[in-house]
Amino acid sequence: GVPGAGKTLAGLNIATSRAEKHSDEHAVFLSGNGPLVDVLREALARDKAGREGIPRSQAYREVSTFVQNIHHFRDEALASKNPPVEKVVIFDEAQRAWNREMASKFMQQKRGHANFNMSEPAFLIDAMNRHKDWCVVICLIGGGQEINTGEAGLGEWIAVMRDRHPEWDVHVSSFVG
């Protein structure tokens, strides 16, 4: 959808409702936009603390389990070969996920993973594919909004599904741009 269409709000609604109603089937809202993650966590923590009468610090810890930066999720998935605890992943601004070159460069230079050679979409889908029963990846996409060098765009998600995971069921909105 276009900027302001409500993609982020829709994704947050999915993640928060799953946290409240399906505690055994965790969901996570992911974004590569660190400042957005910080703002969302703070706003949700304040709201939760006010509604539930709990300390803001406790609410912040709880909110941080289902609103995360993609780097945190990726680092946890690299640390273990087990499936992620989350069964549902919502990736906000998924068109801005890094291509293989950018993700590899970051992982090699900033995280010390010399052999990392995947795009963010490929790694995320591979990590979720560790689940043997089911999982869901929801990509919230703002068409034509790739703005930085190294952003993979919608084509990378489609290529990963076609080339690496053809057994997955893929559903695409009729509105793609």
Longest dimension (CA), the chain: 49
Residue 141: half-sphere exposure toward Cβ, Cα within 13 Å: 22
Question: What span, in angstroms and rounded, lies between the C-alpha atoms of 161 and 128?
Answer: 12
pLDDT along the chain (177 residues), means of 10: 81 84 84 93 96 96 93 94 95 92 94 94 97 95 71 89 96 70
Please give the angle made by the CA atoms of 78, 88 and 93, to the nearest 5 degrees.
Answer: 80
Residue 155, pLDDT score:
86
- Which pTM was predicted? 0.89
Residue 137, pLDDT score:
97
Residue 110, pLDDT score:
92
Residues paired with residue 139 on neighbouring β-strands, in sequence order: 91
Residues paired with residue 91 on neighbouring β-strands, in sequence order: 30, 139
Alpha helix locations (H) across the chain? Answer: 7-21, 34-52, 56-64, 70-79, 100-110, 120-128, 154-164
